[in-house]
Amino acid sequence: MSIHPTLRLSDLAGLDLQCSCGRRHQVPIRHIVTGEGALERLPEVVASFSGKRALLIGDSHTWPLAGEKAQELLTSTGIQVTPYIFSRRDHYLTDEYAIGELLVALPQQTDLIVTVGSGTMNDVTRTVAVRCGLPWIIIGTAPSMDGYASSTSAIIINDEKRSVPLGSPYGIVMDTDLLVTAPDEMLSAGIGDVLGKYVTLADWRLAAREGREHYCETIAGLIEAACGRCLAGYEHVLARDSAAIEDMAGTLVMAGVAISMFGTSRPCAGSEHQLAHVWEVAAIQRGGQSPLHGNFVGLGTVASILLYQAAAENFGFTDLQQALPEAKMISEILTRAGGWASKERLGIDRALFESSFTHAARTNPRYTILTYLEERGCLEIYAKQVTALLYDV
Ligand SMILES: [Zn+2]
Ligand SMILES: [Zn+2]
């Protein structure tokens, strides 16, 4: 069996593919429901849980969006629902406190967790559900990151961010009527996480070329096709056009599906994520309200594209660089999306920015352009060049 890059997202649910790359790719997610009014289809997603008990969670922001409606739909399917609304702290992270709060809220007799939320709630749910051996369904409230379909969670423990391999959700519901109401900062973050995939693909191809990583053209093709549709329609996303928001949400879910298919986040996180990770940890350690992941990735995307631009000719990978969008174009898109991904808004000073390249290369084992240049002893020089391009203006 083969898959076409333009196939519908819902067709990927339950996929079991013996791929031409030599590996078998599976998508354990049973239901992916997207589009306007998708929430109304929750009963078909949970049909096999009729007569069982579900914990339905949201927070003070997401519950009013879809909590009550979800409770009504679950109850009408014959599911006994225990609702739980997270207390929204001003400092709200996927950390040991949030995970602990959900564990305490989880009734002893629970067959399913249903979550209304996005990044934090999604990662907290995955962590608790997998550790407790429970299936879970996520009702997405913002197209802000690619973690909905992913099999790993980004968890903060003792102020350090870790990527923990866990498992995939039973079902995903992405209702465009909810997604179009997401705040600007979250839309901008979603755009950043999508644009970053261009760098990820260049890094993955570089790693494969260097014989350092298995590469799958089927998975890369799926991501590339979805990102292309998104890039072409980003203006409509900013105008909150329902079809464009649905497309972007679909791309973010597709990225998570690709992680599940490959088994690691390799298809969706390259040097732009490695840089973002350094800045995110610095922000967490500074304390206060942390900017969103996807906005760090937006700036990381600009930085990585500039790095490719600076080094490609000297090292013979101009083909990879030329396949990337222009850094200027990405910067303009992010500025038009509200400027949430600017270095000033993210609190990244010159010293942190410049040191993040070598810091990421030396602490993150994934092979990317950072590794490539670090192994040749010239990453620091290129980091200086890229820093000057962004800070000496
Ligand atoms: Zn990401
Ligand atoms: Zn493959």
Domain harbouring 367, CATH code: 1.20.1090.10
DSSP class per residue in 369-384: HHHHHHHTT-HHHHHH
Mean pLDDT of the residues in the chain? 94
Q: How far is CA 317 from CA 159, 205, 223, 229, 320, in A?
A: 37, 10, 21, 25, 5
Whole-angstrom distance, CA of residue 221 vs CA of residue 365? 24
Q: How far apart are CA 249 and CA 253, in angstroms?
A: 6
Structure tokens at 239: 């105008």
List C-alpha distances in Å: 172 to 17, 176, 272.
Answer: 21, 13, 26
Does 131 map to a domain?
yes
**Least confident residue range of 65-69, 77-81, 282-286:** 282-286
On whether both 157 and 77 belong to a single domain, the answer is yes
Residues 165 and 192 in one domain: no
How far, in Å, from the CA of 22 to the mean position of ligand 2?
Answer: 6
Query: Of the residues 116, 144, 179, which one is the last residue of a structural domain?
Result: 179
Domain boundaries, position 82:
36-179
CA 161–ligand 1 middle distance (angstroms): 13
- The rounded Å distance from CA 190 to ligand 1 centre is 9
Does residue 124 sit in the same domain as residue 267?
A: no
C-alpha 3 – ligand 2 centre gap (Å): 10
Q: Is residue 258 part of a domain?
A: yes
User: For 208-217, 223-232, 290-299, which range has the lowest pLDDT when averaged over its residues?
Assistant: 223-232
Instruction: List all residues 6 or more positions away from 68 whose beta carbon is below 8 Å from its beta carbon.
Output: none
CA of 297 to the centre of ligand 1 (A): 7
- Buried (b) or exposed (e) across 28-64, using 16+ Cβ within 10 A? ebbbbbbbbebbebbeebbeebeebebbbbbbebbbe
Each residue's pLDDT tens digit, 135-177: 999 999 999 999 999 888 888 888 888 888 889 999 999 999 9
Query: For residue 296, how far is its CA from the centre of ligand 1 (angstroms)?
Result: 9
How many Cβ atoms sit within 10 Å of the Cβ of residue 93? Answer: 20
- Give the Å distance between the CA of 116 and the centre of ligand 2: 32
Instruction: Please report which ligand is nearest the Cα atom of 163.
Output: 1
Instruction: Tell me whether residue 15 is in a domain.
Output: no
Rounded Cα gap, residues 291 and 289, in angstroms: 7
Identify the band that residue 88 occupies on the pLDDT scale cut at 50, 70 and 90: low
**Ligand 1: centre distance to CA 49 (Å):** 31
Q: How far does residue 175's CA lie from ligand 2's centre (Å)?
A: 30
- Residue 111 domain-assigned (yes or no): yes
**Alpha carbon distance 114, 135 (integer Å):** 9
Residues 350, 386, single domain; the answer is: yes
Quote the CA–CA distance of 225 and 141 in Å, as a whole number. Answer: 24
- Both 163 and 41 in a single domain? yes
pTM: 0.94
C-alpha of residue 199 to centroid of ligand 2, in Å: 19
Are 202 and 338 contained in the same domain? yes
> 216 C-alpha to center of ligand 2: Å?
4
Ligand with the closest atom to the CA of 214:
2
Q: Are residues 172 and 203 in the same domain?
A: no
**Tokens 């391999």 correspond to what residue?**
165
C-alpha–C-alpha distance, residues 314 and 310, integer Å = 8
Lowest mean pLDDT among 134-143, 155-164, 189-198, 238-247: 155-164
Comparing CA positions, the residue from 336, 364, 341 lying closest to residue 291 is 341
How far does the centroid of ligand 2 lie from the alpha carbon of residue 218, in Å? 5
Q: Could you tell me the maximum CA-CA distance found in the chain, to the nearest angstrom? A: 64
Are 111 and 97 found together in one domain? yes
User: Which ligand does the CA of 297 lie closest to?
Assistant: 1
For residue 193, how far is its CA from the centre of ligand 2 (angstroms)? 23
Are 175 and 190 members of one domain? no
Give the number of the ligand closest to the Cα of residue 220. Answer: 2
The domain boundary residue, chosen from 179, 201, 236: 179
Look up the CATH number of the domain holding residue 89.
Answer: 3.40.50.1970
166 plus 237 within the same structural domain: no
The residues that bridge with 54 in the sheet, in sequence order, are: 81, 112
279 and 204 in a common domain: yes
- Going by pLDDT thresholds of 50, 70 and 90, the confidence category of residue 91 is low
Query: Does an H or E element contain 85, and which?
Result: strand 80-86
The pLDDT value recorded for residue 48 is 97
Gap from CA of 161 to ligand 2 centroid (Å): 29
Q: Residue 18 falls within a domain, yes or no?
A: no
- The answer to the question of residue 139 being in a domain is yes
Ligand 1 geometric centre to CA of 79 (Å): 34
Rounded CA Rg of the chain? 20
User: What are 49's two structure tokens?
Assistant: 């849980």
| Nearest ligand, CA 200 | 1
Domain's final residue, options 179, 204, 220: 179
Query: Does residue 47 lie within any of the structural domains?
Result: yes
Calpha distance 274→279 (Å, rounded)? 9
Residue 234 lies in a domain: yes
| Ligand showing the shortest atom-to-Cα distance for residue 123 | 1
Q: Beta strand 152-157 with 136-140: parallel, antiparallel or unpaired? A: unpaired
For the chain, the domain total comes to 2
Considering every ligand atom shown, identify the ligand nearest to the alpha carbon of residue 255 and give its number. Answer: 1
CA of 300, nearest ligand number: 1
> Residue type for 81, please?
V
**Model confidence over 318-359: pLDDT tens digits?**
999 999 999 999 999 999 999 999 999 999 999 999 999 999
CA distance 369 to 203: 6
Question: Does residue 379 share a domain with residue 285?
Answer: yes
Distance between Cα 2 and ligand 2 center (Å) = 10
